[in-house]
């Protein structure tokens, strides 16, 4: 009797959530990726999954247009296509682990992708971005504290948004729960601590504030700040500083990593500071860092 593929998928997703401790966002993404394959291939049971069906699905993926706002029209990026394949391969590994006959997971190879395009800025641009505002308002102090925190810690923007007011600023470090619910230690510079202290002092003295929670960084309406708001803050700050390059919260995370590597930090330490599960992910910063230094040398040396 053949086993129902939808029931097995449900069991697999529960396994991801409970045994593997994956976040609900990851579980939902995997559900979407696998469901797309099952629907496209009309798969009813594990034995229906064949190499030819996977190949047909890959061709279909490769011809899909991206529909994300702000992106140029074109087919799905290779990395996006790989997300589907990674999820499917993980599902097949789960089936094999439970002695369910299906396609061998190692039959699925990921598409080769080009080196990630990292958003890098020069040191001069970085200094312009980080220059303190002459204004002393709750908003300006908050924005400065956000920038200093991103650069000092290398936090992802979602991790920054999750911070609360009870952050201990008497020490130089704190723990953060990152991707995959993994906890890591990040470190605060004196400049970052000072910026946060100034912001919190002003925040407490502001009689007109409407704080609805204990979030460290809040919007003008008193709600916990979100990633989109921080993106807008940094985009506006870069424009005011006259920076032509695209600058996002992740740009500061990139700068944090490349700055450490260029100044002699070993890649394994940078991996731990960034919270990367695989050192392969961190390796891209080494490649980009070397390439960026070469471009800077070519542009400015001997002029």
Task: Please check whether residue 261 is in contact with residue 270, taking contact to mean a CB–CB distance below 8 angstroms.
Answer: yes
Give CA–CA dist 72/58, Å, rounded. 21
Give CA–CA dist 252/126, Å, rounded. 9
Are 48 and 191 in the same domain? no
Domain count, the chain: 2
Are 93 and 53 in the same domain? yes
Task: Name the band, by pLDDT with cuts 50, 70 and 90, for residue 72.
Answer: very low
Are 165 and 277 in the same domain? yes
- The residue range of the domain holding 226 is 123-300
Are 130 and 55 in the same domain? no
Positions annotated as catalytic residues are 156, 179, 250, 253, 276, 285
At 115-170, the pLDDT tens digits run 555 667 888 999 999 998 888 899 999 999 999 999 999 999 999 999 999 999 99
Indicate whether 117 belongs to any domain: no
pTM over 0.75: no
Are 90 and 130 in the same domain? no
Length of the chain as a residue count: 303
Are 154 and 57 in the same domain? no
At 15-37, the pLDDT tens digits run 999 998 888 888 999 999 999 99
The phi and psi torsions of 173 (rounded to 5 degrees) equal -150, 160
Give CA–CA dist 188/128, Å, rounded. 21
Query: Last residue of some domain: 61, 79, 107?
Result: 107
Task: Please check whether residue 5 is in contact with residue 44, taking contact to mean a CB–CB distance below 8 angstroms.
Answer: yes
Are 143 and 288 in the same domain? yes
Query: Last residue of some domain: 75, 107, 139?
Result: 107
Are 131 and 100 in the same domain? no
Query: Looking at residue 33, which CATH number applies to its domain?
Result: 1.10.150.130
| Helix (H/G/I), strand (E/B), else coil: 48 | helix
Q: Would you state the pLDDT for residue 153? A: 94
Query: Last residue of some domain: 60, 77, 107?
Result: 107
Query: Looking at residue 262, which CATH number applies to its domain?
Result: 1.10.443.10
Q: Tokens 């204004």 belong to which residue?
A: 135
Indicate whether 114 belongs to any domain: no
Are 172 and 30 in the same domain? no
- Whether residue 214 is predicted with pLDDT greater than 90 in this model: the reply is no
Are 103 and 136 in the same domain? no
Indicate whether 118 belongs to any domain: no
């Amino acid at each position: 009797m053949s086993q129902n593929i939808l029931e097995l998928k449900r069991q697999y997703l529960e396994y991801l959530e409970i045994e593997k401790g994956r976040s609900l966002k990851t579980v939902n993404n995997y559900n979407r990726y696998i469901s797309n394959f099952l629907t496209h291939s009309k798969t009813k049971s594990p034995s229906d999954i064949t190499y030819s069906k996977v190949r047909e699905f890959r061709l279909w993926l490769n011809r899909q247009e991206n529909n994300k706002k702000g992106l140029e029209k074109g087919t799905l990026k290779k990395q996006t296509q790989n997300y589907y394949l990674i999820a499917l391969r993980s599902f097949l590994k789960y089936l094999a682990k439970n002695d369910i006959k299906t396609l061998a997971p190692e039959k699925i190879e990921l598409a080769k992708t080009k080196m990630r395009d990292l958003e890098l800025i020069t040191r001069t641009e970085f200094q312009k971005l980080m220059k303190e505002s002459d204004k002393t308002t709750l908003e300006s102090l908050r924005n400065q504290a956000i920038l200093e925190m991103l650069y000092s810690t290398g936090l992802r923007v979602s991790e920054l948004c999750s911070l609360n007011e009870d952050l201990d600023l008497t020490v130089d470090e704190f723990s953060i729960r990152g991707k995959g619910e993994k906890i890591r230690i990040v470190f605060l510079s004196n400049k970052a601590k000072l910026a946060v202290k100034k912001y919190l002092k002003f925040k407490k003295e502001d009689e007109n504030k409407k704080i609805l929670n204990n979030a460290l960084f809040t919007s003008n309406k008193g709600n916990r700040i979100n990633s989109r708001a921080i993106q807008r803050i940094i985009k506006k700050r870069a424009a005011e500083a006259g920076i032509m390059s695209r600058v996002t919260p992740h740009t500061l995370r990139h700068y944090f990593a490349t700055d450490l590597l260029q100044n002699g930090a070993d890649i394994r330490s940078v991996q731990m500071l960034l919270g990367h599960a695989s050192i392969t992910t961190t390796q891209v910063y080494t490649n980009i860092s070397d390439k960026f230094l070469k471009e800077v040398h070519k542009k400015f040396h001997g002029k």
